[in-house]
Amino acid sequence: MSERDESFVEFVASRQATLRRIAYAVCRDDARAEDVLQEAFVKLYLAWARVEGTGREEAYVRRIIVNADLDQRRRPWHRRRSSVPLELVDGPERSGASTEDRIELLAELRRLPQMQRRTVVLRYWLGFSVEDTAAELGISEGTVKSHSSRGLAALRARVGLPADVG
């Protein structure tokens, strides 16, 4: 195995679980998330010589995930699934929320419109800044703020939290 291939395999092995959770959060569908992630890894491999060592490898994959999800949604055979995979429920443990609460939150997150869901996931699950979220999604910072605000308001209303919590 070449040195290039070894570094690629090392990167994928170390980041695969995190990137899979990101793909699921973006896609809302376990099977499509797997497809999108595999497509992202193939595209990353093809660009690895150019991307490796830049410090932007993960950002490059995240962008591919977002774009691949958009591409798949445009296909006429796109269908939604309604199950929540339990392995995704291991999100941030900092919250101290019960498994049932996390499952409910993920179910409600899946119900958000696509761009609201993406901005909420990037901003509040992954901790991106407004600027980084805008760059990741290719939208303006104001659009990030409005999608985030609307998404959080919808989540709060659906799970029964007052508007000023969080």
Whether 24 is covered by a domain: the verdict is yes
Instruction: Collapse the DSSP code of 72 into the 3-class scheme (helix H, G, I; strand E, B; otherwise coil) and give the result.
Output: helix
pLDDT tens for each residue of 78-108: 444 434 443 444 444 445 566 777 777 777 8
pLDDT tens for each residue of 114-127: 889 889 888 888 88
Residue of higher predicted confidence among 9 and 80: 9
Domain C-terminal end among 77, 106, 125: 77
* Selection from 5, 48, 31, 28 nearest residue 108 by Cα: 28
Dist. CA 128–CA 68, nearest whole Å? 20
Whole-model pTM?
A: 0.51
**How would you label 35-51 residue by residue, b for 16+ Cβ within 10 Å and e otherwise?**
bbbebbbebbbeebeeb
User: Which structure tokens are listed for 98?
Assistant: 């019960």
* Selection from 26, 47, 46, 52 nearest residue 37 by Cα: 26
Mean residue pLDDT of the chain comes to 80
Domain C-terminal end among 77, 107, 137: 77
CATH code for position 152: 1.10.10.10
Dist. CA 159–CA 7, nearest whole Å? 43
- DSSP class of residue 96 equals -
Whether 4 is covered by a domain: the verdict is yes
Examine the domain organization and report whether 126 and 73 are in the same domain: no
Whether 138 is covered by a domain: the verdict is yes
Dist. CA 113–CA 62, nearest whole Å? 19
Amino acid 95: pLDDT: 52
Examine the domain organization and report whether 9 and 67 are in the same domain: yes
Q: Give the chain's end-to-end CA distance (angstroms, integer).
A: 49
Does residue 163 have a pLDDT over 90?
Answer: no
Whether 116 is covered by a domain: the verdict is yes
Split at pLDDT 50, 70, 90, the class of 140 is: very high
CATH code for position 40: 1.10.1740.10
CB 65 within 8 A of CB 122: no
Domain range enclosing 9: 1-77
Split at pLDDT 50, 70, 90, the class of 53 is: confident
Number of domains in the chain: 2
